Amino acid sequence: MTQHEQAQDERARDERGGEAAYEPDPRRWRVLAVSLVVGFMSLLDVTIVNVAVPSIRAGLDTSAATIQWVVSGYALAFGMTLVAGGRLGDAHGRRRMMTIGLVGFVVSSAAVGLAPNAAAIVLARLVQGASAGLLTPQNSGLIQQLFRGEERGRAFGMFGFTVAVASATGPLIGGLLIGLLGEENGWRSLFLINVPIGLVALALIRRLVPDNHVGAGPESAPKDPRIDVVGAVLLGLAVLAVLYPLISLEGGAGLPLLVLVAFPPLAWAFVRWEKRTVRLERPPLLDVSLLRGLPGYANGLLVGTLYFTGFTGIFLVLSVHLQEGEGFSPLQAALLMTPFAVGAATTSPLAGRLVGRLGRRVTLVALGVMMTGTALASWLVTSPTDSLWWTLAPAMFLAGVGGGGVISPNFTLTLAEVPPRMGGAAGGALQTGQRIGSALGAALLMTVYQAVGTVSSAPVAARAALLAALAVLSLAFAAAVRSWRRGD
């Protein structure tokens, strides 16, 4: 029986009452809490380093181009390993992959914090990003495995809360630590703090996180644990062909955009290879034909990618604008963006509870609120500097209220029909789209900000960048409407 036929058989069995085989693990909420702590750490390190770049550059006396890779190397390695990390967790156990990934993350975090020079930091950040790529997809895999029905929506609500808060509070936490410990070496604490937290989490993982077969029914574990190495290499190179030029463009280098021409043939080769692997009844890295046929998966992937394209770059542009254009300190800039995190924290759990009853309508309403907040922010960002606390902050809160209702429902709806045995790989693919969207959004919005800034004032440039974000969010809204009309 092929993987596609096997998955169809699993779904048919569920419809006939096969869910009766599912037995809730009494530890499932504690397991979720531990996995979300680990997920928060790995996602936080995407943004927390942004405010530390000037301090790292001054402390190590190196170039801006080199320091750019302290930020970008992590995101690059992270995005390249997500799907492979998810598949490894599906095949060889999520507890095992969380253990391996967390050990790598803790060791590389210590290496960054104690690094004597910029080259050592860049190398350690690459390892740290690859380790995070092994860790993060285990979150969605565990949720698919341990939860069903409305509980799964609530669990993804907590996951969405984690993603939103980690993304929005990274600069704030970084600014606070540097402010407390000083400019010269305070940046090292951003990485060293991962060590004690990671060691505690490691002990809890070994104690609480179950093997894949626990709570998921006997059919959920894959029969063949072999890993599709060729598929992993092809997909990794395809992701590299997108992320590397986008990250380079964000740093001001346009020539690497030529690498984008390698993406279509690499993506075509990956799809062909995966189809051949399935045809030969070998375990694929990601059964693209199966996922394309699952209700809601392709549309959910598109919604998530477009949302992160419009959402993530907002923080980068506002951080740069508030510091360089308005004269705010890193901590002040982070505090002004904190209302977004507060708004997202308020609505993420609620959206997770409602998605089971309202479906894609939750995403539509949330995106509408997010777009309203972004539109207000684009209008108010040109306010006088001393009034931004009373004008821009409420708009960011409103945008956060909407943003908190996008991520968790989209995860729930996108992965609803994915068999638990594929939860890690499918979730990894969804998060890879988010990482690509984040890189694309950061490059797009910073390019708009810099281009408009050469012919107009900084506030007008910030408005133009926010309007570009609003345009991308409108595309995400259109994709969500399409998904709703199709009943996904």
Neighbours of 9 (CB within 10 A): 14
- Alpha helix (H) residue ranges in 260-325: 263-279, 288-293, 297-320
pLDDT of residue 2: 44
Helix axis angle, 64-92 to 423-453, nearest 10°: 160
Q: Do the beta carbons of residue 121 and residue 191 sit within 8 Å?
A: no
CA-based nearest residue to 32, from 165, 217, 156: 156
Amino acid at 309: T
The helix (run of H) or strand (run of E) holding residue 433 is helix 423-453
Q: Where are the alpha helices (DSSP H) in 283-406?
A: 288-293, 297-320, 330-358, 361-380, 388-403
The helix (H) or strand (E) run that includes residue 89 is helix 64-92
Tens-binned pLDDT, residue by residue, of the chain (488 aa): 444 455 455 444 444 444 445 677 788 899 999 988 888 888 788 777 766 776 777 777 777 667 767 777 787 888 888 888 888 888 888 889 999 999 999 999 999 999 888 888 889 999 998 999 888 888 888 888 888 878 888 888 888 788 777 876 777 788 788 878 877 778 888 899 899 999 999 999 988 888 765 444 444 444 566 778 888 888 889 888 888 887 777 666 666 778 889 999 999 999 899 888 888 888 888 777 766 777 778 888 899 899 988 888 888 788 888 888 888 877 788 788 889 888 888 888 888 888 878 888 999 999 999 999 999 999 999 999 889 999 999 999 999 999 888 888 888 888 877 777 777 778 888 888 888 888 788 878 888 998 898 898 999 999 999 999 999 999 999 999 988 888 76
Task: Please give the pLDDT value at position 21.
Answer: 59
Are the C-beta atoms of residues 381 and 462 closer than 8 Å to each other?
Answer: yes
Cβ atoms 25, 215 nearer than 8 A: yes
Both tokens of 329, joined, read 């300190």
CA 185 vs. chain centroid, Å, equals: 28
Q: What pLDDT is stored for residue 250 in this prediction?
A: 61
Residue with tokens 């309403």: 365
CB atoms near residue 239 (< 10 Å): 26
**Structure tokens that stand for 101 in this block:** 């990934």
Q: What is the pLDDT of residue 154?
A: 85
pTM of the model: 0.79
